[in-house]
Amino acid sequence: MERTVQLVQMAEMAVVENSHLLKTTLGSCVGIVLYDEMRRVTGLAHIMLPRTLERDTSVGKYADSALPALLRRILQRGGSRERITARIAGGANMFRAATDRGIATIGEQNIAAVKGLLAELKIPVVFEDVGGEHGRTVVFDNETGRMEVKTLRKVPTPEPSKEGRES
């Protein structure tokens, strides 16, 4: 059977059923997967920021608006509040300078916001791969409930060769 891959871009959300795969790529953003194993209904939100900014109506962009909206969509598709579990990934510190200055990075803020909201909603986190300094690609298999996280490594730029340069 052909598997359908639903790509979730930055500030987007998607809810799927059956044998779909959900996929996203994250840096400082956090990906939240909400999953009802019995019903096989899954939602993925690609969160950019912890809190909604004034006058921005982009629901999927912010943890405080995307998480409740994602939960509602799963429940509308027949998911059960009591069976939903969460998986989270991302929240990398993509820029070392912020950490060196002791400033909480946007990734750290996103992680804290997502974990806080999940705790308030009493949704258990059954898997997490968060923080660090590398981006991630996430694929969630709605059929099996398996989440695959691939860490993206930084590739250093080679130093320019001294040959051929004038002094």
Per-residue pLDDT of 26-84, as tens digits, reads: 999 999 999 999 999 999 999 999 999 888 889 999 999 999 999 999 999 999 999 99
Side-chain half-sphere CA neighbours of 149 within 13 A: 19
Residue 153: pLDDT band (50, 70, 90) is confident
Contacts of 69 (CB under 8 A, 6+ apart): 13, 45, 59, 60
C-alpha 111/C-alpha 91 separation (Å) is 6
Q: Which two tokens stand for residue 71?
A: 């939960």
- Four-residue CA torsion sign, 122, 128, 134, 136: negative
Per-residue pLDDT of 91-141, as tens digits, reads: 999 876 555 555 578 999 999 999 999 999 999 999 999 999 999 999 999
Q: How many residues does the chain have?
A: 167
Catalytic residues: 29
Residue ranges of domains in the chain: 5-151
CATH class, range 5-151: alpha beta
Q: What is the pTM of this model?
A: 0.88
